[in-house]
């Protein structure tokens, strides 16, 4: 294999890479995608958000998505540390009612659909091709790769898009990748059969369970399959003294409400693990290259933001790539605008994610009857409506203000209690 030259070379054929390739090809660009694996292949991140459907419509794959997906009308949260208090956020209560539901999907099927969409628009796709080196320079990019038979090839392009996922090829090469040390976590996960589902319209809900060492997801998939995974403190996972399957079982047993749904469950896939979950890159690109999806940033997946942020970054990135190619003098500004927009959406998710496990947050999040504007604002965020300016800004601000006030009151109460205890102790001694 000798390789070739193109306008845009995309590394990676996950949701981000396939989406930007399809969008740019539809605009008349010659695009080549290099993918290290062969689709379909296993991947987690199976829960989609309502606002993601707009991008699927743009790609023309909604019919195929409906064929493989389980309808997801809501997300429900259970606090196992507070006696099993539950709270359900119905997407139909978001500020924008355009997309009142989403889908749960197997990622091997979803990613294959997105890659097929790119191919149908003229994208040249090469699978089982591992990129071994990347060089970006003033006139474009040069990429070396090797296939499964050991044959080497060289590819050149006017513009390079890094959609390599958690490999973060360019961010690592440029020393841009930053681990999030304030929100470090790891996960173990697998697919199960025989898991009890919610009833009626709630059968497709994603279920989230808080427990002592982190949180657990349950995502209903078609054919009776349930994706289950626990995102935990690294120290908890390091204490494992048994197989991954047994350890995940022990973890689920710590949550009575989750465990009740597992009484007849059995594994139907290998239980796997992933570490070093949260990170980002110092910058999102340069004159002739761009980082999208997980190659730029990965945040805790508690709000199912992974596929949505990947595909949203691809859509935002497609506009930036167009500007860089057609108007090189405006490239720096285009990349800055892309990065600002992407970070704005990530920040709106991250504020909630970074506080998700605190007692104050859990209490506020599961309040049975919150003010309407707050519930609408939180539901809007959970639906993925984080890039637009919506009327829910005031509701989110009210939630944050309530959180900060409750946190300060709790800290003051704790401090006062400690001081009273010390005073009582000194009195007894005297």
Whether residue 411 has pLDDT greater than 70: no
Alpha-carbon span 145 to 130, nearest angstrom: 5
Start-end of CATH 3.50.50.60 domains in the chain: 5-69+105-180+280-355
Residue 275, pLDDT score: 75
Which has the closest alpha carbon to 317: 8, 1, 73?
Answer: 8
Q: pLDDT-derived band of residue 1, with 50, 70 and 90 as boundaries?
A: low
Domain with CATH 3.30.9.100 in the chain: 186-274
CATH number of the domain at 5-69+105-180+280-355, out of 3.30.1180.10, 3.40.50.1000, 3.50.50.60, 3.40.50.170?
A: 3.50.50.60
Angle at 253 between CA 248 and CA 255, to 5 degrees: 110
What is the residue-averaged pLDDT of the chain? 93
Task: Kindly report, residue by residue over 305-359, the tens digit of the pLDDT.
Answer: 999 999 999 999 999 999 999 999 999 999 999 999 999 999 999 999 999 999 9
**pLDDT of 417 strictly over 50:** no
pLDDT mean over 261-285? 92
Above pLDDT 90, what percent of the chain? 86
Bridge partners (DSSP) of residue 70 are 104
Instruction: Report residue 418's pLDDT band, with 50, 70 and 90 as the boundaries.
Output: very low
Q: Can you give the length of the chain in residues?
A: 430
- What is the pLDDT, as a whole number, of residue 425? 56
**What would the pLDDT profile of 63-88 be if each residue is shown by its tens digit?**
999 999 999 999 999 999 999 999 99
DSSP string, 228-294: EEEEE-HHHHHT--S-HHHHHHHHHHT-HHHHHTTTT-EE-S--EEE----EEES--EETTEEE-GG
For 368-407, write each residue's pLDDT tens digit: 999 999 999 999 999 999 998 888 889 999 999 999 999 8
Pick 2 or 327 by higher pLDDT.
327
Angle between helices 306-326 and 331-355 (to 10 degrees): 170
Q: How confident is the model at residue 426 (pLDDT cuts 50, 70, 90)?
A: low
Rounded to an integer, what distance in angstroms lies between the CA atom of residue 172 and that of residue 150? 24
How many Å apart are CA 418 and CA 111, to the nearest integer?
Answer: 54
Q: Tell me the sheet residues that pair with 389.
A: none
- Which among 160, 148, 133, 151 is positioned nearest to 32, based on CA atoms? 160
Which pLDDT score is estimated for 173? 95
pLDDT band of residue 179 (cuts 50, 70, 90) is confident
pLDDT tens string 289-308 = 999 999 999 998 899 999 99
pLDDT of residue 409: 79
What pLDDT, on the 0 to 100 scale, is given for residue 367? 92
The pLDDT confidence band at residue 182, using thresholds 50, 70 and 90, is confident
The per-residue pLDDT for range 124-145, each reduced to its tens digit, is 999 999 999 999 998 999 999 9
CA distance 322 to 179: 30
Per-residue DSSP letter, 80: G
Q: Tell me, what's the pLDDT at 107?
A: 96
CA distances from 191 to 162, 304, 310 (A): 29, 17, 23
User: Cα–chain-centroid distance for residue 276?
Assistant: 14
CATH match for 186-274 among 3.90.25.10, 3.30.1360.170, 1.20.1260.10, 3.30.9.100: 3.30.9.100
What is the value of pTM for the model shown? 0.93
Give 419's pLDDT tier (boundaries 50, 70, 90). very low
The answer to whether 169 and 290 are in contact (CB under 8 A) is: no
Q: Which two tokens stand for residue 319?
A: 């506009």
Q: Are strands 70-72 and 102-104 parallel, antiparallel or unpaired?
A: antiparallel
What confidence tier does 423 reach under pLDDT thresholds 50, 70, 90? low
pLDDT at 41 over 80: yes
**Does the structure show a pLDDT above 80 at 52?**
yes
- pLDDT, average across residues 249-273: 97
């Amino acid at each position: 294999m000798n390789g070739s030259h193109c306008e845009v070379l995309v590394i990676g054929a996950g949701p981000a890479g396939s989406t930007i390739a399809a969008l740019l090809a539809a605009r008349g660009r010659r695009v080549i995608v290099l993918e290290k694996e062969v689709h379909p292949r296993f991947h987690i991140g199976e829960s989609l958000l309502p606002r993601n459907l707009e991008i699927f419509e743009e790609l023309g794959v909604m019919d195929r998505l409906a064929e493989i997906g389980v309808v997801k009308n809501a997300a429900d949260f259970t606090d196992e540390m507070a006696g099993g208090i539950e709270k359900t956020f119905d997407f139909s209560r978001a500020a924008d009612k355009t997309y009142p539901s989403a889908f749960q999907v197997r990622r091997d099927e979803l990613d294959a659909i997105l890659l097929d969409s790119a191919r149908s628009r003229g994208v040249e796709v090469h699978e089982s091709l591992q990129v071994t080196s990347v060089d970006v320079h003033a006139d474009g990019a040069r990429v070396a790769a090797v296939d499964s038979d050991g044959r080497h090839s060289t590819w050149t392009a006017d513009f390079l898009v890094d959609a390599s996922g958690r490999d973060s090829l360019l961010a690592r090469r440029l020393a841009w990748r930053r681990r999030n040390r304030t929100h470090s976590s790891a996960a173990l996960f697998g697919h199960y059969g025989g898991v009890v589902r919610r009833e009626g319209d709630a059968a497709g809900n994603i279920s989230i369970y808080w427990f002592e060492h982190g949180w657990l997801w349950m995502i209903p998939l078609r054919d009776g399959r349930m994706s289950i995974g626990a995102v935990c403190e690294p120290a908890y996972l390091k204490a494992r003294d048994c197989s991954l399957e047994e350890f995940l079982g022990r973890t689920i047993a710590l949550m009575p409400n989750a465990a009740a749904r597992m009484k007849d469950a059995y594994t139907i896939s290998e239980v796997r693990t992933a570490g070093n979950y949260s990170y980002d890159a110092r910058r999102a690109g340069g004159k002739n290259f761009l980082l999208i999806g997980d190659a730029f940033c990965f945040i805790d997946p508690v709000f199912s933001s992974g596929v949505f942020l990947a595909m949203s970054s691809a859509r935002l990135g497609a506009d930036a790539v167009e500007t860089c190619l057609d108007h090189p003098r405006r490239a720096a500004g285009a990349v800055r605008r892309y990065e600002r927009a992407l970070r704005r959406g990530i920040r709106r998710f991250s504020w909630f994610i970074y506080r998700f496990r605190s007692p104050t947050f859990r209490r506020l999040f599961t309040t049975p009857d919150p003010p309407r504007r707050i519930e609408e604002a939180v539901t809007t965020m959970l639906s993925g409506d984080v890039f637009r300016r919506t009327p829910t800004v005031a509701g989110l601000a009210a939630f944050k203000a309530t959180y900060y006030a409750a946190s300060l009151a709790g800290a003051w109460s704790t401090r006062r209690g400690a001081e009273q205890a010390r005073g009582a102790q000194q009195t007894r001694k005297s």
